[in-house]
């Protein structure tokens, strides 16, 4: 079983990473993809992968990085990511994308006029798009798949990715059924986290999983976040990916073995793992 998205280089794992990795191995996890989220975390993802051969690094900047970014530095950032790709066994570019949820959440709303706040939000969204497109181009150039993060910006993101011939996964998919179909028709995969273990049975997400071919689904924890039931509220870790496999099996009315077997193959094919 693969966990295609875990941030083992985040501080939440500082004190007991060794045990987390042991528990993942006992839970029959054969590979973990650790995406980058900033330049620093792209670097530490690569370092972690050098120490543990079953951890595969991805490098990229999360859209949250856009707010503090000067667009002039974009070339420099892409150069640094390129260097990491060339010196490490990087399996994807990401996580990167658009996140319009609470953009400008850090602004001092009392000190600024409505108009100024709107301008600032538009400015940050513009940088997110530039940052995303630059990483899409890097992925194309290096022939790597993308790990796409998207929140509250699916229509905007679709407009961008439509112009590319892409391989990749929309991680922690939380859009609607129509958007899911559009991503699938573009050849992208969808991956699901512990969120699917605690939404209601009539949630659109459950319907989307039912309708998405198993061949296009990947499993992920997004550890340390989004912990599945029955551990919801605690820190997440790769060993818990089995609860997501079980839930998908349950929704589709198939065996867990089949979910594991097919998603393993999907992961190996997409990220070119041997």
Contact 191, 172 (CB under 8 A): yes
Q: Distance (Å, rounded) from C-alpha 64 to C-alpha 96? A: 9
Q: Which C-beta is closer to Zn ion: that of 65 or that of 222? A: 222
Q: Which C-beta is closer to Zn ion: that of 100 or that of 213? A: 100
Q: Which C-beta is closer to Zn ion: that of 125 or that of 191? A: 191
Q: Distance (Å, rounded) from C-alpha 197 to C-alpha 188? A: 23
Mask of contacts with Zn ion, 173-212, x by CB under 5 A? ----------------------------------------
Q: Distance (Å, rounded) from C-alpha 205 to C-alpha 188? A: 17
Interface region with Zn ion, contact rule CB under 5 A, candidates 14-22, 46-54, 214-222, 247-255: 214-222
Phi, psi for residue 253 in degrees, rounded to 5: 65, 40
As measured in angstroms, the least distance from the Cβ of 35 to Zn ion is 6
- Residue 234 CB contacts under 8 Å (≥ 6 apart), including other chains: 227
As measured in angstroms, the least distance from the Cβ of 193 to Zn ion is 9
As measured in angstroms, the least distance from the Cβ of 5 to Zn ion is 6
As measured in angstroms, the least distance from the Cβ of 94 to Zn ion is 9
As measured in angstroms, the least distance from the Cβ of 222 to Zn ion is 5
Q: Which C-beta is closer to Zn ion: that of 222 or that of 237? A: 222
As measured in angstroms, the least distance from the Cβ of 117 to Zn ion is 27
Q: Which C-beta is closer to Zn ion: that of 103 or that of 226? A: 226
**Which strands sit side by side in the sheet containing 146-151, from one edge to the other?**
2-3, 31-34, 55-59, 92-99, 146-151, 168-170, 189-192, 217-219
Rg (CA), the chain: 18
Residues 18-77 that bind Zn ion (CB under 5 A): none
Residues 222-241 that bind Zn ion (CB under 5 A): 222
Interface region with Zn ion, contact rule CB under 5 A, candidates 16-24, 132-140, 220-228, 233-241: 220-228
Q: Distance (Å, rounded) from C-alpha 171 to C-alpha 244? A: 14
Interface region with Zn ion, contact rule CB under 5 A, candidates 122-130, 132-140, 216-224, 249-257: 216-224
As measured in angstroms, the least distance from the Cβ of 21 to Zn ion is 18
Q: Which C-beta is closer to Zn ion: that of 99 or that of 222? A: 222
> Which chain residues interact with Zn ion by CB under 5 A?
222
């Amino acid at each position: 079983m693969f966990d295609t998205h875990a941030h083992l280089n985040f501080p939440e794992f500082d004190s007991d990473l060794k045990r987390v990795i042991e528990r993942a191995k006992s839970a029959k996890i054969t590979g973990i993809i650790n995406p980058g989220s900033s330049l620093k975390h792209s670097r530490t993802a690569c370092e972690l992968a050098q120490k543990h051969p079953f951890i595969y690094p991805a490098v990229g900047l999360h859209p949250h990085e856009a707010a503090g970014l000067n667009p002039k530095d974009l070339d420099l950032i892409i150069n640094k990511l390129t260097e990491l790709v060339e010196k490490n066994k990087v399996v994807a570019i990401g996580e990167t994308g658009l996140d319009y949820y609470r953009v400008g959440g850090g602004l001092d709303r009392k000190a600024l006029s409505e108009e100024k706040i709107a301008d600032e939000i538009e400015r940050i969204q513009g940088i997110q798009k530039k940052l995303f497109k630059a990483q899409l181009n890097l992925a194309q150039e290096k022939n790597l798949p993308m790990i796409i993060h998207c929140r509250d910006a699916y229509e905007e993101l679709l407009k961008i990715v439509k112009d590319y011939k892409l391989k990749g996964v929309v991680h922690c998919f939380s859009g609607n059924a129509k958007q899911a179909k559009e991503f699938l028709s573009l050849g992208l995969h969808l991956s699901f986290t512990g969120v699917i273990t605690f939404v209601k049975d009539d949630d659109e997400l459950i319907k989307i999983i039912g309708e998405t071919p198993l061949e296009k689904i990947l499993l992920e924890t997004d550890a340390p976040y989004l912990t599945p039931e029955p551990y919801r509220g605690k820190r997440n870790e790769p060993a818990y990916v089995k609860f997501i496999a079980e839930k998908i099996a349950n929704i589709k009315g198939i065996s867990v073995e089949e979910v594991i077997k097919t998603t393993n193959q999907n992961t190996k094919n997409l990220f070119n793992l041997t």
